[in-house]
Structure 1
Amino acid sequence: MSSSVEGVRGDVAEGFGAVHDAFRDALAGDAGSGAALSIRRDGELVVDLAGGVAQPRTGAPWTLDTPSVIFSCTKGLMSVLVARLVEEGRLGYATPVAELWPEFAAAGKEGATVRDAVSHRAGLPAPRTDWTPADILDWDRATALLAAETPLFAPGSAWSYHAITHGWLTGELVRRVTGETPGAYFARTVTGPLGADAWIGLPAAEQDRVAHLQVGGTLAALVAEQRAAYEAGASVWPYRAMTLGGALPPELVGEDAGFNRADVRAAQIPGAGGVSTAHALATIWSAVVAETGGVRLLGDEILTRATEVQSEGAPYFPVPWPWPRWGMGFQLDSEARRYLGSSSLGHDGAGGQVAFADRDAKVGFAFLTNRMEAVDDRATRIVDALRAVL
């Protein structure tokens, strides 16, 4: 049935009214931003909603076809690509990265494995020297800098969230194995077969469709607090993991900065730069666990392997609890990010983006918003409503 709530566009299947209401509530109280929610169950679309404003400058509404930057949800997509290559026998989680990427052996990283690279154990969460905006736009430059980098801790000995660098680690592995850029391989093997509007490296023809991102109050306050803490002597590395020392603003966006820039969205930055509609993202995650549009992206055996816990507990560089849990790049259910339960896998993203699949419920889920907050339970309340419905 179609939504009858003013400002909410789209459809919801019978029995999912509580999920619709949770989405409506997520939009309430902020007339200047928007969001979208899409959910599939057993491959079939059960929720497809959008509301609010995609372009605050023009007042253009957020529609079901509006794409937005998905930030670290991109890491989940890259983890799907890596898992496909492992499933096909073209890559192994235990393989040393340097066997595929010889330059990576520099500075004591010769023993780092694919497992280390995907599960935030490579020792490269942030660079020791400052990167520039030009560095992140150039694939060869970014991967060469990362390959030459001295790790901040011995690879495999601990974990620390590789907020941006994760994408070049996984992306260069994809490139070395397939001969294709991650964006091209993603298009050929995932979005093409599914007919999904999602990209790693946004084409010029799609740029005008993308939602404009805004920094919410809680995110602005968190960045100010972090900056003050680091200036007072706290560890700078988690902060540098987001900025790379100057390549990106700590909020990841500005009015005309970071991922609001067309050239940044066009570049392949697979740690944070994917662009997708919620509809497409839910379709992809659905196809991870259930046949969707005739496509199944991963089999049950590789899913079992890829969701074994690799990293959990306190990270190498202290950050406040709660801490997430990771499989082979997949973010698992934890107190830091509640999904449906122990059979869920996915990845959230900066500012409130959430995308995941659930193996038991055969669900693919995506919530996207252009009002970026740090203290944010919008998606959590929607997931809670979905869990109750199921």
Structure 2
Amino acid sequence: MTELHGTYEPRFHATRAALRRNLDSGKELGASLVVDIDGERVIDLWGGFRDPARTVAWDEHTITNVWSVTKTVTSLAALMLVDRGDLDVHAPVARYWPEFGANGKQDVEVRHLLSHTSGVSGLDQPATIEDLYDTERAAARMAAQAPWWAPGTASGYHLFSFGHLIGELVRRVSGRPLKEFVAEEIAGPLGADFRIGAAERDRSRIADVVPPPPLPFDLEALGKDSPAYRTLTGPSVTADVANTPGWRAADIGAANGHGNARSVARILSVLARGGEVDGVRLLGERTIDLVFDVQADGIDLVNGLPLRWGIGYALPRRDTLPWIPDGRICFWGGWGGSMIIMDLDRRMTISYMMNKMAPGILGSDRSAAYVQAVYDHLP
């Protein structure tokens, strides 16, 4: 039987049991799960292994690449600048980043970047993973591109470009690279074990990701001029790149954040708790309200899912993830099934991070089981 550690309130025994079953069956390799309700960790569990050979235990301080959960922290960084009055979501991006106004993008607004509706969802060809590692150069290339669809008319998931676009705005406005801003303004003040990229000193406690089966995409069938094809090949990325030194050293605010369920919950609970965590205020209520200003609601042009986007975060649609209820809730997930959910009605944050990636585009049967079990045992 795989060891499972941590604490939980007895009312959440079914959630713990679901995690235990998946660890014992091998569906999970290593994982961490946290539920925070108004500052109390009612679930704080971790267990399994960091390696496929099952020789190194996933312990309390294990971290892993959290893929697109990183976007939720990057969005928070931008919203903090909005809250300070340094950034306006309704202003043209070119006000802060003049070069971005090239090629018909002069009217693209900050909110369009934060809701995946800008039309700049990837790099024009040629594009390689190494291009993303030169953060400023990649951002400059995106600024020079023409949009791939009419900005503001639909969402097209900004798979990797999200981090470079928002990151460049953060750099222009704050004077600091995104990974530095996150370290000094978010993770540091909150005491959260999270960073964009990964430090060499943390190498020994990183759980390598285990790639999933291939995504169910026939790229050629998408059509080479489609936003989906252009995004998924601009650049093409395989999951095992997350285990390489180049990836870990980069500043990819869309996908190379490293943390665990506890640290991600610590950071994102700021939304569920009214903008303040243990005396550290990052956002005001008016800025949090912006998250729920719907920017797109329909079939995403890149990932093909029915999605409802607010400013910076997805909002519930029962036809996409039926296990996330309606209400004042915002969320997003990472490739392979990791999930961060902020339920403002209940002042609750659900955070699940793991290393064995499941198939699919958003969420997994595992994340669904844990989240459903949590909600089943709430008043």
Taking structure 1 as the reference length, what is the TM-score of the superposition? Answer: 0.89
Alignment match, 2:12: 16
Two-structure CA RMSD over aligned residues (Å): 2.0
- Which residue, 22, 25, 32 being the options, matches 1:26? 22
- Which residue, 352, 357, 361 being the options, matches 2:337? 352
Task: Check if 1:298 corresponds to 2:283.
Answer: yes
- Which residue, 144, 151, 158 being the options, matches 1:155? 151
Moved more, 283-292 or 195-204: 283-292
Written as runs of structure 1 = structure 2, the 5 A alignment for 1:170-249 is: 170-216=166-212, 219-220=213-214, 222=215, 225-226=216-217, 229-232=218-221, 234=223, 237-246=227-236, 248-249=237-238
- Which residue, 285, 303, 306 being the options, matches 1:323? 306
Structure 1 Cα separation of the partners of residues 43 and 57 of structure 2: 19
CA contact (8 A) 2:34 2:352 kept: yes
Equivalent position SS for 1:26:
helix
Describe the shift of the 1:368–1:242 C-alpha distance in structure 2 as closer, same or farther (beyond 3 A): farther
Alignment match, 1:285: 268
Moved more, 207-216 or 379-388: 207-216
Structure 2 Cα separation of the partners of residues 50 and 32 of structure 1: 11
Task: Check if 1:274 corresponds to 2:264.
Answer: no
Structure 2 Cα separation of the partners of residues 201 and 32 of structure 1: 24
Structure 2 Cα separation of the partners of residues 208 and 334 of structure 1: 39
Equivalent position SS for 1:45:
strand
Structure 2 Cα separation of the partners of residues 366 and 208 of structure 1: 23
* Residue 172 of structure 1, CA deviation: 0.7
* Residue 367 of structure 1, CA deviation: 0.4
Task: Check if 1:124 corresponds to 2:120.
Answer: yes
Percent same amino acid among aligned pairs? 33
* Residue 261 of structure 1, CA deviation: 0.8
AA of the residue aligned to 1:94: H
Structure 2 Cα separation of the partners of residues 28 and 240 of structure 1: 40
Write the deviation string for residues 284-326 of structure 1: whole angstroms up to 9, x where unpaired. 1222222433324322221112222111112345x54x41211
CA contact (8 A) 1:32 1:56 kept: no
Describe the shift of the 1:313–1:388 C-alpha distance in structure 2 as closer, same or farther (beyond 3 A): same
Describe the shift of the 1:232–1:316 C-alpha distance in structure 2 as closer, same or farther (beyond 3 A): closer
Write the deviation string for residues 99-121 of structure 1: whole angstroms up to 9, x where unpaired. 11111111111111001111111
CA contact (8 A) 1:340 1:358 kept: no
Structure 2 Cα separation of the partners of residues 26 and 345 of structure 1: 26
Ranges in structure 2 where 5+ consecutive residues have no aligned partner: none
* Residue 57 of structure 1, CA deviation: 4.6
Aligned residue-pair number: 370
- Which residue, 317, 322, 339 being the options, matches 1:334? 317
Write the deviation string for residues 330-366 of structure 1: whole angstroms up to 9, x where unpaired. 1111232343432111211100010121111111221
AA of the residue aligned to 1:238: A
Ranges in structure 1 where 5+ consecutive residues have no aligned partner: none
CA contact (8 A) 1:207 1:262 kept: no
Moved more, 259-268 or 16-25: 16-25
Equivalent position SS for 1:313:
strand
AA of the residue aligned to 1:323: P
Describe the shift of the 1:262–1:313 C-alpha distance in structure 2 as closer, same or farther (beyond 3 A): same
- Which residue, 359, 374, 378 being the options, matches 1:386? 374
* Residue 191 of structure 1, CA deviation: 0.8
Structure 1 Cα separation of the partners of residues 233 and 336 of structure 2: 15
Task: Check if 1:105 corresponds to 2:122.
Answer: no
Equivalent position SS for 1:107:
coil
CA contact (8 A) 1:76 1:331 kept: no
CA contact (8 A) 2:35 2:41 kept: yes
CA contact (8 A) 1:126 1:165 kept: yes
* Residue 230 of structure 1, CA deviation: 2.6
